[in-house]
Amino acid sequence: MWTNFPLFPVRASNFADKVDPLYFFLVGVTVFFTLVIFLTITVFAIKYRRSVHPKAEQIEGSLVVEVTWTVIPLAIALVIFVWGVSVYYSYGAPPKDSLRVYGTARQWMWKFQHADGQREINELHVPVGRDVAVTLISQDVIHSFFVPAFRVKMDVLPNRYRTVWFRPTRTGTYHLFCAEYCGTAHSGMIGSVVVMEPGDYETWLASGGEGSLGSSGEKLFRHFGCISCHRSDKGARGPDLAGLYGREVHLQDGSTVMADENYIRESILAPKAKIVAGWQPIMPVFQGQVDEEEMLELIAYIKTLQQNPLNVNPNAPLPNEEQRKRNPQVEPQVIRP
Site for other proteins in 59-78 (CB under 8 A): 59-62, 65-66, 69-70, 73-74, 77-78
Q: How far is Cα 227 from Cα 237, in angstroms, rounded to an integer?
A: 10
214-273: contacts with other proteins (CB under 8 A): 270
* DSSP assigned state of 261: H
State which residue, 156 or 244, has the beta carbon closest to other proteins.
156
What is the DSSP code string of 165-189?
A: EE-B-S-EEEEEEE-S--STTGGG-
CB of 184 to other proteins, least distance (A): 5
Among 17, 95, 116, 187, the residue binding other proteins under the rule CB under 8 A is 187
Among 12, 14, 19, 125, the residue binding other proteins under the rule CB under 8 A is 19
Counting residues that bind other proteins (by CB under 8 A) gives: 92
Q: How far is Cα 271 from Cα 293, in angstroms, rounded to an integer?
A: 19
User: C-alpha angle 74/79/81, rounded to 5°?
Assistant: 90
Q: How far is Cα 292 from Cα 220, in angstroms, rounded to an integer?
A: 13
268-327: contacts with other proteins (CB under 8 A): 270, 287-288
CB of 300 to other proteins, least distance (A): 22
**Residue 17 binds other proteins, judged by CB under 8 A:** no
User: C-alpha angle 25/30/34, rounded to 5°?
Assistant: 150
**Residue 9 binds other proteins, judged by CB under 8 A:** yes
Task: Show Cβ contacts of residue 95 under 8 Å, excluding neighbours closer than 6 positions.
Answer: 131, 133, 165
Strand bridging mode 132-138 / 143-147: unpaired
Among 6, 199, 254, 314, the residue binding other proteins under the rule CB under 8 A is 6
Binding mask 188-207 for other proteins (x = CB under 8 A): x-x-----------------
Q: How far is Cα 303 from Cα 263, in angstroms, rounded to an integer?
A: 12
Q: How far is Cα 303 from Cα 287, in angstroms, rounded to an integer?
A: 21
Binding mask 77-116 for other proteins (x = CB under 8 A): xx-xx-xxxxxxxxxx--------------x---------
Dihedral sign, CA of 251, 257, 258, 263? negative
Among 51, 207, 306, 315, the residue binding other proteins under the rule CB under 8 A is 51
119-178: contacts with other proteins (CB under 8 A): 140-142, 144, 146, 148-149, 151-155, 157-160, 162, 175, 177-178
State which residue, 74 or 312, has the beta carbon closest to other proteins.
74
Amino acid (1-letter code) at residue 52: V
CB of 141 to other proteins, least distance (A): 4
| Nearest in space to 169 (alpha carbons), one of 202, 129, 201 | 129
State which residue, 138 or 216, has the beta carbon closest to other proteins.
138
